[in-house]
Every structure is written in C-alpha cells, then in structure tokens.
Amino acid sequence: MIATNWGSATDVGLVRRHNEDSLLAQFPVFLVADGMGGHAAGEVASALTSEQFRDLASVEELTVERVAAAIEDANRSVLDAARDADRLHGMGTTLVGLIRVDDRSQELWLVFNIGDSRLYRWFEGAMTQITTDHSEVQELVEQGAVSGEAARVHPLRNVITRAVGTERTVEPDFWLLPPAPGERFLLCSDGLTSELPDTAIAQTLARERDPSVAATRLVEEAVAAGGHDNVTVVVVDVLTGDEDDEDVGDTARGIEQPESEASLGLGHPPEPIGKPRGRAARRSRRSPKAKPELIVEVPGSASAPQGSAGGGDQESNALIAEVPTRNGDEGEPETGGMHDG
C-alpha cells in the first residue's frame, strides 16, 4: 500500500497583488492549479477546479474514470461561473495532478496536466519532468527553434494552448506510474519554473529531506530570483518502508532536516510512446525511469456519475491523450494561445 509524506507552500511573489494559484494536498489527491484572467477571475477558476477534487480524497478506490469525471466537472463549473458573471468572463486555469488510483487490482499513480503547470519525479539522484507543457514556447522547443533554457525567458512562455474552463471540452494528458519506494514528486505552477532552472530545482530536492522544508525552500528561492508570478509547490514523498519511516502526511513543522547524500542529476527527457497521432505523438511521453503508461484511447462514456466511487469497465479506463484548445485573450498578441498570468 502506498504511504506518503508531503509538504506544500505558496507565495504571491514580488510583482502581483493577488495569488491566483490554488493547491490541494490530501492523500491520495495532490493538485496545483494556476488561474488566469486577472484578480478575482483567476482566483475563482483555480479554486473552483481544486474544489472539484476535494471529495475524491475520501474515496477508497479511485479509478481513472472517476478522476476524468472530476476534470470534466471542473471544466464545466468554470465555464458556468464565467457565463453567469461578466467580471469572470475569459477566466481559466492550468492544472497538474498526482492521484493514487486503483487500476486492474493495482495501486498506481495517475499523473495528468493541462497547461504549463508541471510535475517532476526525483528518484535515485535524478530528476525527470514527467509532464509536457501545453504552450506556444514548448512547441518551439519541440521544433528545435528554441532551447529549453531560452524558453524560460521567451516572450511566448506564458501563452498556453490548453486550459480548464476555456472550451466546452478539455483534454488532459494522462500517465500511469507504478509506485516506487523512495521516489519524490514535485508539482508546481510556472511561477517556480520560470524563475529557477531545473538544475537549481533538483539541487533543492536533493538537499532538503523533509518535503515541507523542500517546498518552502523552492518557493523562497523562486521569489528571491525575481518573484514575477505567484509560486506554488507541492512535494510528495513515497515512503521506503524502512523502520524509521513515519507516515505523518503533511510534514509542515518548520524544522530543517539534514542534507541528503543523494547525488544530483537530471533524468533523460521522456520518450514518445504509442503510435504517432498528430501533435499528441509529440507530447505523449514517458520517463525511462518511471515507465509511465500514456493513456491514448477513450471509452464512449468516461465520466462516472457524481457520488459514484467507481467508473465503468476497468479494461477500458483510458482517455484521449490530447486535443489542443486555442483561445486568444483579449488584448494579447495574436499567438493562437491563452495568456497565463
């Protein structure tokens, strides 16, 4: 059985007046949402999205379909709220999640993302980015036109191609990961990754053993590096099963832990998986260490009814990898995307 410790931190940063990020950290559900649309609107979009997942934390046997239904419900709730209030028009949010699910009598991690909030996996001294940004600059990176480091400061870095609450349908990318004792996950908004390179993030994950301290340090470092955006971080540790391990859940104690002896490294970029399917083939990826399974097909009725703990046929619990959405923000350049922040 998966057992975890975790910690989280968030900060408004040095430039913005309001924090439009939202997080949920309650085993087995961990989420980060980065709202867009300005004060009030962005906050509402991210909060509405996170709230749709709160009840899942009490479900004993979560399925992929049940998580998919929560994503669809979140998309619908943001759309409905924007339709009913003019001040909320055009709002949306990114979303990245890590949820323990039961699939074919196995406990697995379900990873999903929409937009440019990310999930990284730290394991055996190496950090690997599992998710792939849904953004204009990521497409340039994949085309070889922009380097990964240059992407952090590129003018299109905040223009995303998909978000929750901007279209009638939303298509996340999904991965299934077998749990590994000793692994660590990082979920974050782009307020972290736009300020810190992956090497700096990996150094902090290696140095700080307590997940709450690691989350706090990462947020502090992003703010110190410029703090141009809201910064939100969730760090989740999968326990090793050693006698000294204690599943205390949220480890927010403010106690600095001894430095880790783990060596610092960055894992290889995830490799494509499955048959090419247009742009999905470029973004459907897996980590060679984590061996995530990208889910690429969807049953006709993927949504479980609200209040249901199950989700249909276990043999067909798969979802479409990607259908990009595009919706230009008013006043933003004609880039074909949505401006995050």
Residue indicated by tokens 């199950």: 310
Residue indicated by tokens 């008013």: 330
Residue 341 lies in a domain: no
Burial bucket for residue 271 (CB in 10 Å: 0-12, 13-18, 19+): exposed
Q: pLDDT-based confidence at 243, cuts 50/70/90?
A: very low
Q: pLDDT-based confidence at 5, cuts 50/70/90?
A: very high
pTM for the model stands at 0.74
- Residue 31 and residue 34: Cα distance in Å, rounded? 10
Q: What is the pLDDT of residues 87-146, one digit of tens each?
A: 898 899 999 999 999 988 899 999 999 999 999 999 999 999 999 998 776 657 666 766
Residue 110 lies in a domain: yes
Q: Which residues contact 341 (CB under 8 A, 6 or more apart)?
A: 16, 20, 34, 36, 158, 190, 191, 229, 230
Which residues constitute the domain of residue 51? 4-335
Residue 176 lies in a domain: yes
As for how many domains the chain has, the answer is: 1
Residue 62 lies in a domain: yes
Q: What is the pLDDT of residues 22-48, one digit of tens each?
A: 999 999 999 999 999 876 799 999 999
CATH of the domain at 152: 3.60.40.10
Is residue 156's pLDDT more than 70? no
Residue 340 lies in a domain: no
What tokens were used for 200?
A: 């700096």
Structure confidence at residue 251 (pLDDT): 79
